[in-house]
Structure 1
Amino acid sequence: MYPERAKVKFKLNDKVLITAGKDKGISGVIKKVYPKLNKVLVEGANKYTKHIKPVSGRAGDKIKVERPLHTASIAILNDKGVADRVGFKVAKDGTKSRFFKKTGKIITEKGHK
């Protein structure tokens, strides 16, 4: 039912850059993570028009909705605003943390903005 799961390296409130698709080059903040689908919802990106049918007492409408993006189509932005990759380090005390592969700096767990 679900695709093969990869390790999701993105967390809520991470600042990311879209690297593929119609919104390529747009940066935004992650609003929701779907680990089973390997997708994330990025604020202000991948917007589509949804048509609402009229029902009794209410007119029809067109609204813009955001759809999730695959994790392969985004890259995290480091402190300098450059697209980077994420790695994992395990400290001597056994705690696991994320770090930027280009700079080596550790990413805080409360989200990276």
Structure 2
Amino acid sequence: MESQELKKELDATLDARRELGPDYEAALVDSFVEKVDTQVRRRLAEERLAAARGDRDGGTPSPLDGSFGERFGFAIITLVLAVPLSAIGAAQAGFKGLLVAWAGVLGVNFIHATKRLRPRA
């Protein structure tokens, strides 16, 4: 149902853009992005609420809790951040700085990958 609403909003935005011209394009895009953001935030809040209810009732944990996607996303983010860290480390301390930067990246990823989910009280 939400995707149908967003499709209608997109169609309305495109129609308005055709009628108003390119001068209002930025405002129309901002308005549409705000509506998409609201939908995403509402869906995340609903998923978190459902996950919290599932945890209290002894249900299955949420896919947001320690899932492969979370670990993979964390790894990607740390690798992206490793690029400037590597450059800074190498510029400041040469090869030793590069090794320290990558040891930190690997250490953070190892700790995150091996952490255990603690049961909620």
TM-score, normalised relative to structure 1:
0.25
Structure with more strand by fraction: 1
TM-score, normalised relative to structure 2:
0.24
Rg comparison, structure with higher value: 2
Structure with more helix by fraction: 2
